[in-house]
Structure formats: C-alpha cells, structure tokens
Chains A and B, each alone.
Chain A
Amino acid sequence: MNPWPFVVGAYAVFFLGLVFDAALPALRKRRLLARIAERQQREHTRRAQQRTRQT
C-alpha cells in the first residue's frame, strides 16, 4: 500500500486544525467589533433624539 496519500492527508488534517484554531477567534473578534460599533451607534442615535426632544 502506498503510504504517501496517508502521510499527506495526516499533515493536511494537522494544518487545517491549526488554521481553524487561528481563524475562529479572528472571526469572533470581527463580529464582536461589529456588535460594539452597532451598540454605540444605537446609543449615539438615542442621545441625539433625547437632545432634540429637550430643545
């Protein structure tokens, strides 16, 4: 049996694991930044409406 497809497959699995391990937190961080920016935007709009009502 030719062992090389198994060797290549094993190394591919190993590197895929590392890539996923690095990529998932990066994606989570992007989503977190977007969520915080959205929350700040809502807060900004709410304050602006409050100021308009007061004047």
Chain B
Amino acid sequence: MNPLVRWFHRFGSPPTFYRWAGLAQPWFLAGALLLGVIALYLGLVVAPADYLQGESARILYIHVPSAWMSLFIYVFVAANAFIALVWRIRISEVLSMAAAPVGAMFTAVTLATGSLWGRPTWGTYWQWDARLTSELVLLFLYIGIIALFHAIEDRRRAARAAGLLALVGVVNLPIIHYSVQWWSTLHQGPSISLLGGSSIHSSMLWPLLLMAVATKLWFVASLARRSRLALLEADSDKAWVLEAAPSLRSAVAGA
C-alpha cells in the first residue's frame, strides 16, 4: 500500500483522529479568537476610512476573508470527497460532510455582508452580476450537499452521494474566481493576488490578512468539533467511544 494512504488510514482511524482533533481544537480556537480580536482592532480603530468608499470599506475586513473561506472550504469538501470516493477512506467522508455546513455559513455571511456593503457603495443590495450570482450558486451547492447527505439514511452512502455532488459543483469555482475578469461586472476586480502583490495600503492589508488567518483557524477548530461529533454519532455503540469520550461515559453512568 502507498505509504501516504497507509498513514492516512492510520491517522484516520476514528479513535486516533478523535483524540488528536480533541487536543488540537482548543488551540486553533484560541488562535482564531486572538487573531480575530487583533484584526478587529486594526480594521475598526487603526485603519483609516477609504477615500472613495468611506467607512463602509470596513465591512470588507470581514466580507473578503469570508468569501475566501467560502471557496477554500469548497475545495476542501471536494478534495476530501474525491479521496473518499477513490480510496474509500472513511475519515475523508466525515471531514467532507463536516466541513460543508461551515462553508455554507461563510458563503451566507459573504452574501449578506456584501449586500450590506453594496447598499451604501453601489446604491443597491443586490445585482444579478456574474460574481454575485455564482456565489449564490455556491450557497445552493452547499445547501444541496447538506440536504442530500441528510436525505439518505445509510451515512456512508449518503456521504458518497453528497461527495459526488460536491465534485460536480467544482466547475463553479473557476467561474466565481474569474467572473470579474471574464465578464463586465459591477463587482470590482481582485485587489490582492498571490503572485502579483497587492494594491491595498498596508494599514488596510494587515487587518484583512489577519482576519483571513483567523477565519482559517476558526474553520479548523469548527471542523475538529463537528467531525468528532459525527464520529461519536456514527460509532455511538462501539467500545472506543466510551473509552475516548468522558462525557459519554458519565452519560452512560448516569443512566
């Protein structure tokens, strides 16, 4: 067996994953809260108002990181769905389905905060332009994945069916990313590029980047919490659950 797949199987065994995720989760959550507070202070107090957009530009310190997360999490969901479909690794199914609600939350936040930014800046809450519409399609994809997962009783079959839908939906990601370049949209083009640098002043760039890291850490913490719960639900009648989860031991002892 491929060493990477072997490592994945070993780390992905429910008791091992449950233990490691439990240890890591509070640290990621603490990091997310700490960086989030610093980013909020920089974004709301230190950073100046934008010369064109005024104070409403402060919405972008949460809107842009949320939008990045909506795409990043979808890639994560699809990648794990692919691994689960090809190599039948159960923990990938669990991770994929546990990440989808977090992605849906960030997509909904992106659409809502973008709408609240659009009203004072564009004069409208909503416009059917390519970027906004493709982001809305992403939200529907997330909702479809979650709904399909909960519609099938057999958890593993449900995860595979929903994973397949996630893989089909990958086609929407380049559309979202390049929509502002392919079509003439009301939505502005990218101000930050991984390769081409940034056109934003550092006083505005730092709160944005710190919030982006904070949302990533939040996602890992949330994913750890949700995937541990999914494992408990799926394996609640197995011996390792009672050994691994003290809260379950006390619940059983109290019964």
Total interface residues in chain B, CB < 8 Å: 34
Q: How far is the CA of A24 from the CA of B100 in the complex (A)?
A: 14
Question: Chain B binding site: helix, strand, loop or mixed by DSSP?
Answer: helix
Give B residues with C-beta under 8 Å from A: 54-56, 58-59, 62-63, 66, 101-102, 105-106, 108-109, 112-113, 116-117, 119-120, 218, 222, 225-226, 229, 232-233, 236, 247-248, 251-252, 254-255
Q: Within 8 Å CB of B59, what residues of A?
A: 6-7, 10-11
Total interface residues in chain A, CB < 8 Å: 29
Contact string against B for A residues 7-51, beta-carbon threshold 8 Å, 1 for contact and 0 otherwise: 101110110011011101100110011111110110010000000
Instruction: Decide if B226 touches A25 in the complex (CB within 8 Å).
Output: yes
Known contacts A28-B229, A41-B255, A7 near B55 by CB under 8 Å:
yes
Give A residues with C-beta under 8 Å from B: 1, 3-4, 6-7, 9-11, 13-14, 17-18, 20-22, 24-25, 28-29, 32-38, 40-41, 44
Question: Chain A binding site: helix, strand, loop or mixed by DSSP?
Answer: helix
Q: Which residue of B lies closest to A26 (CB)?
A: B225
Instruction: Decide if B251 touches A21 in the complex (CB within 8 Å).
Output: no
Q: How far is the CA of A19 from the CA of B254 in the complex (A)?
A: 30
